[in-house]
């Protein structure tokens, strides 16, 4: 079931105070897994809670929320038939795992409530799905964080919702568990085919898990795109900076080259002051400068991290140090050491106009 | 726990003042709390078990147990409902005068019991503000069993409110929200999710209110009427025996009251510990 | 934000019920005290308050209270320091023991002191031989008042000091501070408001204690009558206005206690925010 938001806005407190959410339009296709990504205070959680019905959107402008063709704008959370997974699980501590998962089924009005046999069968099926059958009679306090979050998921899925909403579902878990649960959720989503929206502040999580990512800041949607497109073609500087580490090169363009102190880079840009942004993996390091680029730098730190090596670089002409990620091949070839003098060779760079959204995106040979 | 361990096993304690504070505390507890209790044992060792039984099972004394326990039970139950309502309203809603209402909840603890006693007696007597309204309806409160329960309820109001309030405050909003997203109605969510969370605090508060009511004296004697066999509470029985210089009788009855109170206090503590263990996986 | 019980009708109904019941059971008695005290005008109220026996009762009550507070303070601080800063066998038991005065009926509390220190008691008998009388005199009143009020300061301090932990004191030790300095400069500033509230509660209870005091006082007018005992006598003598004049004084102390509590809580809430 698709979700369609139109002109959804939210103001906390008195009207007139700054909006937590500017009027937003968003369409999510049936069966899609969408991540809402942004720093804290960007309005992503507010948006999710409005979709759930836990928060009321502003009356002015009069926005609407549709689940498929059903207008749920005025529908109470308990009648929206969504599944919601909370950041801190929100399990009922006084109930066993079984009772937690069964809760949604047992509180249905008498006419619609399944028989207790059916409930038992359904709960066991769900617990099997989240691989927790053995823990049915345990209390939440006796489970690990990852297990609790799986119970919380099973509980949310008990009513077979067509929309599953997750608020920072893995935020409180450690890195390894988070990885496993992420893959597992993706799997579950593909298998059961519901529409999912989840909130995260972790770009890696958003990129890995989502069909499409909605990047938000300051109550606004900055960009909606598939992860690959988002990374390759960020709509603006905020998205670019939020999605990864950034190296900054500021200088003056004259005669087809940008200069900054002793640094020089051939560019095809109008004359005047310019700022270029570079990803760490879009740099290579060499022992000598090339014709196009003369960017002398000193290595200040070398950190091998898994498949790549992170090299921190400093120079007099740089306000902030740069970061380059190079392969182990280059690392060994250049014999990179602290204090060594190397030349950075950008393969690509990005430039965003100071005002407004459009970005130019040339590349270097 | 693991932090406390080295301090327990290590010879030197990091912070100073262990000996001094232990000395003061032990001396105080022994001299002020425990030593006087021994006098009760001393007094009672002079009589046989049969004599003891005769005193505490005397008809008038037994009648006083019935009156005291019955009125205290009623007062505790009324307070459980009233306290739950007040705690809920004070935690969950914002309204003008809320802080005043919150402050008012402590009045019964701050007001001397004798003041509460004469005030309630005057209010509910036939000529008082409340008595004038109630007596034409056939409701006699002053000098009856109902009056005793009223006085007990008044003095123990804060117990339930103040034990339930913090627990309700700590209940995360997500618990409400989880119940609602799963389709529970307000009434169902309250009964099946909120109430079980409050249950330990509610029972503890009600239990403390009951224990307090069993021993209450000052607030009750003015409104009770103190008719033997009908409106005489056990604390008054002890007082009457003392005025008759019957120290043995007073001690025997006091020992019953004391044992019941301490047993209840212990039971409440143990029960509470049991509950906390389950909710926090034995770590609490 | 959606919470259980947020529907306007439910909300209004519950607030209405809570306010109405509280007004009937708590506010009305409070109003009645002052209405009765001033029933025959301010002049009569004043005459009752400045009566010789009333003044004597006020004096004794203040005397007892002033002596009780420091004792409770020393005990409360020592016990709280002991159970929150050290781990030793019997710690839980000690914490349970200080709740005894809350569970024991005030009349029973008075009785056990009377039995021990009265003429027939084993300590009282010996004292009597030395011509020292504790019961039916102010020392007896002081002793039972201490018994009844001793948990308050400790009960206020223990949860606070437990929550704060001993890191700050340990830091002070590593910086070479002595015990007295640590307490005065590190602990005391952290606990002073809880300490103050403990004292206020102790004060309220010490001033108002009735059951225990009535057993050991002998209630001799002008000599061993505290204010609560005095108002009882006036009430039994059908001097209602006189009794309520004393009651009004005690109620004022109660109101002060409530105001102080509200003020301290407000202060704590503001500091957290």
What single string gives the DSSP state of each residue in C72-88? HHHHHHHHHHHHHH---
Test B183 with A155 for CB contact under 8 angstroms.
no
In which band, very low, low, confident or very high, does the pLDDT at A136 lie, cut at 50, 70 and 90?
very high
Q: Spell out the long-range contacts of B188-197 with Cβ–Cβ below 8 A and sequence spacing 24 or more.
A: B188/A107, B189/A107, B189/C4, B190/C4, B190/C5, B192/A103, B192/A107, B193/A92, B193/C4, B194/C4, B196/A92, B196/A94, B196/A95, B197/A93, B197/A94, B197/B167, B197/B171
Q: In the CATH hierarchy, which top-level class contains the domain C41-272?
A: mainly alpha
What is the distance between the alpha carbons of residues A257 and B219, in angstroms, rounded to a whole number? 94
Task: Find, in chain C, the residue whose alpha carbon is nearest to that of B23.
Answer: C78
Task: Find, in chain B, the residue whose alpha carbon is nearest to that of A159.
Answer: B182
Task: Find, in chain B, the residue whose alpha carbon is nearest to that of A141.
Answer: B281
pLDDT digits (tens, 9 = 90+) for C91-136: 888 888 888 898 899 999 999 999 999 888 888 888 988 888 888 9
pLDDT digits (tens, 9 = 90+) for A19-76: 889 999 999 999 999 999 999 889 999 999 999 999 989 888 889 999 999 999 999 9
Test B180 with C4 for CB contact under 8 angstroms.
yes
Test C173 with B92 for CB contact under 8 angstroms.
no
Distances (CA, A) of C189 to A352, C114, C168, C186, C193: 54, 40, 12, 6, 8
Tell whether A240 is covered by a domain: no
Same domain, yes or no, for A207 and A255?
no
Strands A283-286 and A341-346, bridge-based pairing = antiparallel
Largest CA distance in chain C: 74
Q: Does C1 touch chain A (CB under 8 A)?
A: yes
| Residue A22: its H or E element | strand A21-28
Inter-residue contact A36 to A219 (CB < 8 Å): no
The confidence score (pLDDT) of residue A255 equals 85
In which band, very low, low, confident or very high, does the pLDDT at B269 lie, cut at 50, 70 and 90?
confident
In which band, very low, low, confident or very high, does the pLDDT at A356 lie, cut at 50, 70 and 90?
very low
pLDDT digits (tens, 9 = 90+) for A274-302: 888 999 988 889 998 888 889 999 999 99
Test A76 with C2 for CB contact under 8 angstroms.
yes
Tell whether B264 is covered by a domain: yes
Same domain, yes or no, for A184 and A333?
no
Residue A15 above 80 pLDDT?
no
What is the distance between the alpha carbons of residues A50 and A56, in angstroms, rounded to a whole number? 6
Give the residue, A268 or C256, on which the prediction is more confident. Answer: C256
Rounded to a whole number of angstroms, the distance from the CA of B17 to the nearest CA of chain C is: 7
What is the distance between the alpha carbons of residues B67 and B75, in angstroms, rounded to a whole number? 12
Residues 104-163 on B with a CB inside 8 Å of C are: 104-120, 122-123, 128-130, 153-154, 157
Most confident of A183-197, B67-81, B196-210: B67-81
Same domain, yes or no, for A111 and A199?
yes
* Mean confidence (pLDDT) of chain C: 91
pLDDT digits (tens, 9 = 90+) for A192-225: 888 999 999 988 899 989 999 999 999 999 999 9
Q: What mean pLDDT is predicted for residues C230-248?
A: 94
Task: Find, in chain B, the residue whose alpha carbon is nearest to that of C92.
Answer: B269
Test C25 with B129 for CB contact under 8 angstroms.
no
Q: What mean pLDDT is predicted for residues A254-271?
A: 87
pLDDT digits (tens, 9 = 90+) for B30-45: 999 999 999 898 889 9
Best residue of A56, A84, A91, A145 to probe chain B, by most B CBs closer than 10 Å: A84
Same domain, yes or no, for A251 and A222?
no
In which band, very low, low, confident or very high, does the pLDDT at B277 lie, cut at 50, 70 and 90?
low
Rounded to a whole number of angstroms, the distance from the CA of C88 to the nearest CA of chain B is: 6
Domain end position, chosen among A205, A233, A261: A233
Range B30-62 burial, b when 16+ CB lie within 10 A, else e: eebbeebbebbeebbeebeeeebeebeeeeebe
CB-CB neighbours of A118 under 10 Å: 11
Residue C247 above 90 pLDDT?
yes
Range of the domain at B251: 47-279
Contacts of B28 in chain C (CB under 8 A): 75, 78-79, 150
Q: How many domains does chain B have?
A: 1
Q: Does A54 touch chain C (CB under 8 A)?
A: yes
- CA nearest neighbour of B159 among B125, B210, B194: B210
- Give the three-class secondary structure for A342: strand
Range of the domain at A271: 247-360
Rounded to a whole number of angstroms, the distance from the CA of B279 to the nearest CA of chain C is: 20
The confidence score (pLDDT) of residue C211 equals 93
Same domain, yes or no, for A224 and A254?
no
Domain boundaries, chain C: 1-37, 41-272
A–B interface: beta-carbon pairs under 8 A: 80
The confidence score (pLDDT) of residue B118 equals 96
Q: What mean pLDDT is predicted for residues C201-230?
A: 91
Strands A263-266 and A163-167, bridge-based pairing = unpaired
Q: How many domains does chain A have?
A: 2
CATH number at residue A11: 3.40.50.300
- From A143-157, A165-179, B117-131, B213-227, the region with the lowest mean pLDDT: A165-179
Contacts of C201 in chain B (CB under 8 A): 109
Task: Find, in chain B, the residue whose alpha carbon is nearest to that of A164.
Answer: B181
Q: Does A77 touch chain C (CB under 8 A)?
A: yes
Best residue of C1, C2, C8 to probe chain A, by most A CBs closer than 10 Å: C2
Sign of CA dihedral A83, A86, A87, A93: negative
Tell whether B29 is covered by a domain: no
- CA nearest neighbour of B236 among B51, B59, B65: B65
Neighbours of chain C (3+ CB pairs under 8 A): A, B
Q: What mean pLDDT is predicted for residues C208-236?
A: 91
The confidence score (pLDDT) of residue B49 equals 94
Same domain, yes or no, for A60 and A190?
yes
Same domain, yes or no, for A178 and A298?
no
Sign of CA dihedral A14, A25, A196, A2: positive
Contacts of A77 in chain C (CB under 8 A): 2
Neighbours of chain A (3+ CB pairs under 8 A): B, C
Contacts of A53 in chain C (CB under 8 A): 2
Tell whether A238 is covered by a domain: no
CATH number at residue B211: 1.10.3720.10
Tell whether B41 is covered by a domain: no
Q: What mean pLDDT is predicted for residues A91-118?
A: 92
Neighbours of chain B (3+ CB pairs under 8 A): A, C
- From B57-61, B182-186, B273-277, C121-125, the region with the lowest mean pLDDT: B273-277
Contacts of C146 in chain B (CB under 8 A): 32
- CA nearest neighbour of B59 among B231, B224, B229, B241: B229
Q: Does C2 touch chain A (CB under 8 A)?
A: yes
Rounded to a whole number of angstroms, the distance from the CA of A92 to the nearest CA of chain B is: 7
Domain end position, chosen among A233, A261, A290: A233
Same domain, yes or no, for A161 and A227?
yes
Residue B161 above 90 pLDDT?
yes
Give the residue, A129 or A358, on which the prediction is more confident. Answer: A129
Beta bridge partners of A217: A220
A56 DSSP 8-state letter: P
Same domain, yes or no, for A145 and A255?
no
Strands A283-286 and A293-294, bridge-based pairing = unpaired
For B112, counting Cβ atoms within 10 Å of its Cβ (0-12 exposed, 13-18 middle, 19+ buried), the class is: buried
A–C interface: beta-carbon pairs under 8 A: 7
Task: Find, in chain C, the residue whose alpha carbon is nearest to that of B83.
Answer: C18
Q: Does A108 touch chain B (CB under 8 A)?
A: yes
Distances (CA, A) of C138 to C65, C127, C133: 11, 15, 10
In which band, very low, low, confident or very high, does the pLDDT at C1 lie, cut at 50, 70 and 90?
low
- Give the three-class secondary structure for A192: helix
Task: Find, in chain C, the residue whose alpha carbon is nearest to that of A53.
Answer: C2
Rounded to a whole number of angstroms, the distance from the CA of A54 to the nearest CA of chain C is: 5
Q: What mean pLDDT is predicted for residues A173-184?
A: 86
Contacts of A92 in chain B (CB under 8 A): 175, 178-179, 193, 196
Range A153-163 burial, b when 16+ CB lie within 10 A, else e: bbbbbbbebbb
The order of strands in the sheet holding A82-85 is A82-85, A163-167, A195-200, A33-37, A212-217, A220-225
Test A77 with C2 for CB contact under 8 angstroms.
yes
Q: Does C144 touch chain B (CB under 8 A)?
A: no
Residue A168 above 70 pLDDT?
yes
Same domain, yes or no, for A154 and A23?
yes
Choose among B16, B42, B257: nearest Cβ to C122: B42
């Amino acid at each position: 079931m698709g979700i369609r938001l139109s002109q959804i806005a939210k103001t906390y407190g008195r009207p007139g105070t700054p909006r937590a959410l500017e009027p937003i339009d968003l369409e999510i296709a049936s069966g899609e897994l969408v991540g809402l990504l942004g720093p804290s205070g960007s309005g992503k959680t507010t948006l999710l809670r409005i979709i759930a019905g836990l928060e009321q959107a502003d009356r002015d402008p009069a926005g609407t929320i549709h689940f498929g063709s059903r207008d749920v704008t005025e529908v109470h959370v308990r009648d929206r038939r969504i599944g919601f997974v909370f950041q801190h699980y929100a399990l009922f501590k006084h109930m066993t795992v079984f009772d937690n998962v069964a809760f949604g089924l047992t509180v249905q009005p008498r006419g619609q409530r399944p028989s207790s046999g059916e409930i038992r069968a359904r709960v066991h099926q769900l617990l099997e799905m989240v691989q927790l059958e053995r823990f049915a009679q345990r209390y939440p306090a006796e489970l690990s964080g990852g297990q609790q979050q799986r119970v919380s998921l099973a509980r949310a899925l008990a009513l077979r919702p067509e929309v599953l909403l997750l608020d920072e579902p893995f935020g409180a878990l450690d890195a390894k568990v988070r990885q496993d649960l992420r893959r597992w959720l993706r799997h579950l989503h593909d298998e059961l085919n519901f529409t999912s929206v989840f909130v995260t502040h972790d770009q890696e999580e958003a990129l890995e898990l989502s069909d499409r990512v909605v990047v938000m800041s300051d109550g606004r949607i900055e960009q909606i795109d598939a992860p690959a497109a988002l990374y390759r073609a960020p709509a603006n500087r905020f998205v670019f900076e939020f999605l990864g580490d950034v190296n900054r090169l500021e200088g003056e363009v004259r005669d087809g080259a940008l200069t900054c102190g002793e640094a020089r880079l051939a560019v095809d840009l109008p004359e005047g002051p310019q700022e270029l942004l570079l990803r760490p993996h879009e740099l290579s390091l060499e022992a000598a400068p090339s014709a196009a680029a003369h960017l002398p730098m000193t290595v200040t730190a070398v950190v091998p991290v898994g498949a790549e090596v992170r090299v921190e670089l400093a120079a007099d002409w740089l306000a902030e140090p740069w970061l380059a990620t190079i392969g182990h091949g280059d690392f060994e070839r250049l014999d990179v050491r602290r204090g060594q003098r190397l030349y950075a060779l950008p393969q690509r760079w990005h430039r965003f106009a100071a005002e407004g959204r459009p970005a130019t995106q040339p590349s270097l040979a | 726990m693991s932090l406390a361990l080295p301090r327990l096993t290590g010879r030197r304690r990091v912070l100073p003042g262990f000996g001094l504070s232990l000395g003061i505390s032990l001396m105080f507890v022994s001299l002020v709390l425990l030593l006087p209790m021994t006098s009760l044992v001393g007094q009672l060792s002079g009589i046989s078990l049969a004599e003891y039984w005769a005193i505490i099972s005397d008809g008038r004394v037994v009648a006083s147990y019935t009156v005291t326990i019955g009125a205290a039970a009623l007062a505790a139950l009324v307070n459980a409902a009233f306290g739950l309502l007040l705690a809920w309203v004070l935690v969950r809603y914002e309204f003008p005068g809320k802080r005043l209402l919150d402050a008012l909840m402590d009045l019964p603890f701050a007001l001397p019991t004798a003041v509460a006693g004469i005030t309630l007696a005057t209010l509910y007597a036939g000529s008082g503000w409340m008595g004038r309204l109630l007596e034409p309806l056939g409701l006699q409160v002053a000098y009856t069993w109902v009056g005793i329960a009223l006085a007990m309820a008044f003095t123990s109001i804060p117990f339930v409110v103040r034990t339930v309030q913090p627990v309700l405050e700590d209940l995360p909003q997500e618990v409400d929200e989880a119940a609602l997203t799963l389709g529970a109605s307000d009434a169902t969510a309250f009964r099946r999710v909120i109430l079980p969370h409050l249950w330990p605090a509610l029972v503890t508060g009600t239990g403390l209110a009951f224990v307090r009511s069993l021993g209450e004296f000052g607030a009750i004697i003015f409104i009770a009427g103190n008719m033997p066999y009908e409106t005489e509470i056990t604390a008054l029985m002890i007082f009457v025996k003392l005025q008759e210089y019957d120290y043995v009788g007073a001690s025997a009855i006091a020992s019953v009251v004391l044992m019941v109170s301490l047993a209840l206090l212990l039971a409440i503590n143990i029960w509470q510990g049991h509950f906390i263990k389950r909710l926090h996986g034995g770590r609490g | 934000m959606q919470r259980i019980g947020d529907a306007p009708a439910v909300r209004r109904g519950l607030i209405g019920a809570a306010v109405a019941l509280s007004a009937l059971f708590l506010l009305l008695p409070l109003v009645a005290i002052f209405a009765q005290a001033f029933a025959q005008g301010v002049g009569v109220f004043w005459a009752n308050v400045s009566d010789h026996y009333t003044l004597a009762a006020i004096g004794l009550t203040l005397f007892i209270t002033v002596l009780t507070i420091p004792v409770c303070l020393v005990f409360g601080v020592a016990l709280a320091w002991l159970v929150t800063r050290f781990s030793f066998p019997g710690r839980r038991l000690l914490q349970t023991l200080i709740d005894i005065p809350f569970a024991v009926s005030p009349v029973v509390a008075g009785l056990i002191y009377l039995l021990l220190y009265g003429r027939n008691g084993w300590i009282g008998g010996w004292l009597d031989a030395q011509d020292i009388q504790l019961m039916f005199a102010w020392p007896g009143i002081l002793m039972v008042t201490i018994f009844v009020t001793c948990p308050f300061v400790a009960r206020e301090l223990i949860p606070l000091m437990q929550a704060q932990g001993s890191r700050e004191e340990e830091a002070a030790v590593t910086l070479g501070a002595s015990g007295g300095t640590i307490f005065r400069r590190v602990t005391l500033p952290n606990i002073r408001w809880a300490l103050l509230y403990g004292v206020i509660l102790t004060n309220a209870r010490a001033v108002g204690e009735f059951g225990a005091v009535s057993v050991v006082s002998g209630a001799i007018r002008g000599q061993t009558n505290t204010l609560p005992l005095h108002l009882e006598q006036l009430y039994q003598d059908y001097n209602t206005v006189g009794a309520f004049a004393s009651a009004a004084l005690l109620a004022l102390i109660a109101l002060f206690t409530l105001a102080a509590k509200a003020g301290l809580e407000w202060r704590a809430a503001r500091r957290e925010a």
